[in-house]
Structure 1
Amino acid sequence: MTEATIGIDISKDRIDVHRLPGGESRQFANDKTGLRAFLRGVERSGEPPARIVFEATGAYHRALERRLAETGLPVVKVNPRNARRFAEAAGRLAKTDRIDAALLARMGVALSLEPCAVLSQTLSDLKQMIVAREALIKDRTAAKNRAKVMTIAVLKRQNAERLKQIERQLVALDTEIEAQIAAEPDLAPRLGTDRTAPDRRFPSSL
């Protein structure tokens, strides 16, 4: 029997679903009600899929990813760049065309993509905060560099205010990051041992 593969194209308001074999396509709202309806459909099919393939789309894919993990379904999250390369190599689309659910399902079958582990909610939150922290550090460096060459009083004042704001935001983020680590001590080794230095770094790939 051929393994079932589901491809999902995720957007802000909806998810488009394509199942192989069979080629059945459906559409659901990208909200709690829509995700419940999708999962009921998977359950009623009587044949658990070998993989559910979707692109990593930032905020749009996270709710779906969490619900799939909670129900124990096999998650395959692909890099959008890799999906596009597969599609172009297969002659399925031009460079400006959109990757759709059917193409993602075909990619899962053709490459026999293996399910991957899903980050816990804590790890997912930490990763987002660490990425935000890195962006703030870059902003701080840029603001300090601007301060060295500014001569106009109003610009110097605004830049100084921005630096203070960045420092406040970094303190808030560091406090929350440490609180998350304290709640799950097993995370500490993954984040390094020296987190006390003013310019300490956290790995963004947890």
Structure 2
Amino acid sequence: MGKMMIGMDVAKEWIDIGIAGDGRVKRIANNERAIDAWLAKIGPDTIGLVAFEPTGGYERHLRRCLSRAKVAFKQVHPNEVVAYRRRRGIKAKTDPIDARLLAGFAAEELTRRELEPVPEADEVLRELTARRRQLQALLHAETCRCDVVDSAIVRKSLQAVIAILERSLAAVDKAIAEYIASSAHAQTSQRLQTFCGAGPAIAETLIAELPELGHLSGKKIAALCGLAPHARDSGKRRGHASTGHGRPGVRKVLFNGARSAIQHNPVMKAFYQRLVDDNHRPGKVALSAVMRKMLVTLNAMIRDGSDWRRAAKPAA
């Protein structure tokens, strides 16, 4: 009570800072030296909460400084800010307006919620896994082009690029494996891979992009990754519940993991077949349910510090 609710609009070169109840906006450089100086001047103990939107990596300096100063912060989904903007009837959009809007959102909306502490993410590992995902997308695109091209010159060019991408991807995969093996994440990675259907790619992605794993309940971790169905009912009408938003990188690897699990994991296979055969769910809907069950199970394994105990016994 009595502490400042602050909104920060993060750009590449600067940060606009708004305080709830104060119309003024201060602009500082987007680097750790400037942010640390501002925090020291204003006093970290006077700040109740800082809200900001994800900006594709430009917010990393801010996250580090706030974490070091032990200031509570929340990275807000842009859709929530858009909805809040509409409720407030604000049509203009500038950096100072967005900073004041985020400050108001923190004071009026976030203070009503039960905010979970945000675990510190491993930025090095996150960048490595992001780079692997980029290389995989580029490799897939070039391979598809090579499959349909007629010109020998163009095919030769594509094959050269594909070879470079494959070497780069192999180097990044090796770097990720070595980084995890030599870090505190090694045991977590080994534990996640005891689940039949979760391989190195799933373990590495969850560690890098879902630091909340093991710290939230099953419902919250599913919602965070966009695997919790949202009901769309009104009166007597029953709409189609859908999933979405969240962490697309996590959902992508869980999709591939779920396809493997329904083939080789007896628990997940029985769960999938029950949904399809007994409950008459479409295959994609049932697969989404398997993804959610996988994530909830992996979350519980990390939370409880236990390996997967229901793996199929090897054949005699």
CA offsets per residue over residues 96-149 of structure 1, 9 Å max, x none? 6655111100001111343641433xx232223223212322322222222222
Q: 1:22 to 1:149 in 2, by over 3 A?
A: closer
* 1:1-206 superposed matches below 5 A: 1-43=1-43, 47-93=45-91, 100-113=98-111, 114=115, 116-120=117-121, 123-182=122-181, 183-184=183-184, 185-189=186-190, 192=193, 195=199, 200-201=201-202, 202-203=204-205, 205-206=209-210
CA offsets per residue over residues 25-75 of structure 1, 9 Å max, x none? 32211123311221112318xx52221111111221101111100111101
Alpha-carbon distance between aligned partners in 1 of 2:191 and 2:142, rounded to the nearest angstrom: 31
Deviation at 1:195, TM superposition (A): 4.4
Contact persistence 2:32–2:62 (CA under 8 A): no
Contact persistence 1:87–1:103 (CA under 8 A): yes
Contact persistence 1:28–1:35 (CA under 8 A): yes
Q: 1:32 to 1:106 in 2, by over 3 A?
A: same
Alpha-carbon distance between aligned partners in 2 of 1:166 and 1:191, rounded to the nearest angstrom: 28
Residue 12 of structure 1 aligns to a residue whose secondary structure is coil
Contact persistence 2:4–2:20 (CA under 8 A): yes
Deviation at 1:22, TM superposition (A): 4.0
Residue 47 of structure 2 aligns to a residue whose secondary structure is coil
Alpha-carbon distance between aligned partners in 2 of 1:41 and 1:191, rounded to the nearest angstrom: 44
| Larger relative contact order (CA 8 Å, sep ≥ 6) | 1
Alignment RMSD, CA only?
2.5
Runs of 5+ unmatched residues, structure 1: none
**Equivalent AA in structure 1 for residue 138 of structure 2:** D
Residue 93 of structure 1 aligns to a residue whose secondary structure is coil
Contact persistence 1:6–1:52 (CA under 8 A): yes
Q: Percent identity?
A: 25
* TM value normalised by structure 1: 0.83
Deviation at 1:85, TM superposition (A): 2.0
Alpha-carbon distance between aligned partners in 1 of 2:147 and 2:14, rounded to the nearest angstrom: 48
Q: 1:8 to 1:176 in 2, by over 3 A?
A: same
* TM value normalised by structure 2: 0.56
Alpha-carbon distance between aligned partners in 2 of 1:91 and 1:35, rounded to the nearest angstrom: 31
**Equivalent AA in structure 2 for residue 119 of structure 1:** E
Which has the higher Rg, Structure 1 or Structure 2?
A: 2
Residue 50 of structure 1 aligns to a residue whose secondary structure is strand
Q: 1:2 to 1:32 in 2, by over 3 A?
A: closer
Q: 1:115 to 1:53 in 2, by over 3 A?
A: farther
Alpha-carbon distance between aligned partners in 2 of 1:128 and 1:145, rounded to the nearest angstrom: 26
Contact persistence 2:32–2:65 (CA under 8 A): no
Runs of 5+ unmatched residues, structure 2: 211-316
Alpha-carbon distance between aligned partners in 1 of 2:141 and 2:15, rounded to the nearest angstrom: 39
